[in-house]
Amino acid sequence: MDNHSAIPDNWEECIINDVSIKIHYGYTAKANENGRGSKYLRITDIQENKVNWDTVPFCEIDDEEIEKFELKENNIVFARTGGTVGKSFLIKNDVPSKAVFASYLIRIKLSNYIDKKYIYLFFQSLNYWSQIELGKTGLKTNVNAQILSKLKLNLAPLPEQRAIVAKIEQLFCDLDNGMANLKKAQEQLKIYRQAVLKKAFEGEFTGGTKRWACKKMEAVVELIDGDRGPNYPKRNDYLYGGYCLFLSTKNVRPDGFEFNETVYISEEKHNQLRKGTLNRGDIILTTRGTIGNVAYYGESVPFDVIRINSGMLILSRNSVHFT
């Protein structure tokens, strides 16, 4: 938290422990699918901020332990280890009776004078995540109850908490609607694009089809695959920067090139290989993994030496048919 940031006079700086009744770890047991015992919520049961309680397994637990670990509406649970460490989930009103939570989760019971959604939304903020990262030291990548209890936040009075939650939910709803409309527009653009391509290759943009001829692909382009010989690059040949970009299918997406993740090979390794080097004007087609993605190696691509891997083809233009 930025200690120099100004907050309203009626707000307070506090820590999570100040607004909590109890912060504790879950119950240790073996999950079962036979329907005996109580529902047993694990980290892996929380997906995309939802829990499908029908698929949550069970565990055997006595009544005294259920009283300690039973989940209630508006409890918040946290993943304290694994790949989703720090991820939180607000228990909703669909939680089954006597459901308990596993030991790799931490549960917070919040005070009654706190709007539970206000605190939960804080746990989605960059402020929260930056404090979680600072709480990890050395090789320690877990989050424990002590770290969680000491996280700092700005606390508004209860009426303002409720107003803030309502405003955030309204804005999030607007964003969701905007994303849905954007997705719909993207789908419509795909349809329009295909319609344009169909008309183009049926001759409608040139006033007729009398001068057109139907040719096989191999008659108009040279099909070149990547060199898969004994000198094919191995993982220990990959570099984070170097002479030649070694193209993978991750770099050829449905809408062209994407260079978020790149690997390179040295000039020496490049010269050991035969076919598979791109020339400006070539087209690349993926043939393994996600099949059929296409990209064009034009002047705007910011790499001068590119070689394909064995999961794609080069379509090199035949000068007889292209100008």
Domain layout of the chain by residue ranges: 12-165, 217-317
pLDDT at 210: 64
**Size of the chain, expressed as the number of residues it contains:** 323
Secondary structure class of 316 (helix, strand, coil): strand
CA 66 to the chain's CA centroid? 35
Fold match flag (12-165 vs 217-317): yes
pTM for the structure as a whole? 0.62
Give the CATH architecture of domain 12-165.
Alpha-Beta Complex (3.90)
Confidence at residue 241, expressed as pLDDT on a 0 to 100 scale:
86
Residues in CB range of 204: below 8 A, 6 or more apart: none
User: Residue range 268-289: average pLDDT?
Assistant: 91
Q: How confident is the model at residue 128 (pLDDT cuts 50, 70, 90)?
A: very high
Best CA proximity match to 80, nearest among 8, 142, 14, 162: 142
How far does CA 49 lie from the centroid of its chain? 13
Task: Tell me the C-alpha distance between 142 and 243, whole Å.
Answer: 40
pLDDT band at 322 (very low <50, low <70, confident <90, very high): low
The reply to whether CATH 3.90.220.20 applies to domain 217-317 is yes
SS3 content of the chain, % helix, strand, coil (to 5): 30, 25, 45
Give the SS3 label for residue 160. helix
Q: What is the DSSP string of 228-263?
A: -STTPPPGGG-BSS-SEEEE-GGGEETTEE--SS--
Alpha carbon of 164 to those of 19, 20, 168, 186, 294: distances in Å?
17, 20, 6, 33, 46
Q: How would residue 320 be classed by pLDDT, with cut points 50, 70 and 90?
A: low
CA dist list (Å): 209 to 135, 212, 322: 69, 5, 18
Q: What is the chain's Cα-based Rg?
A: 29
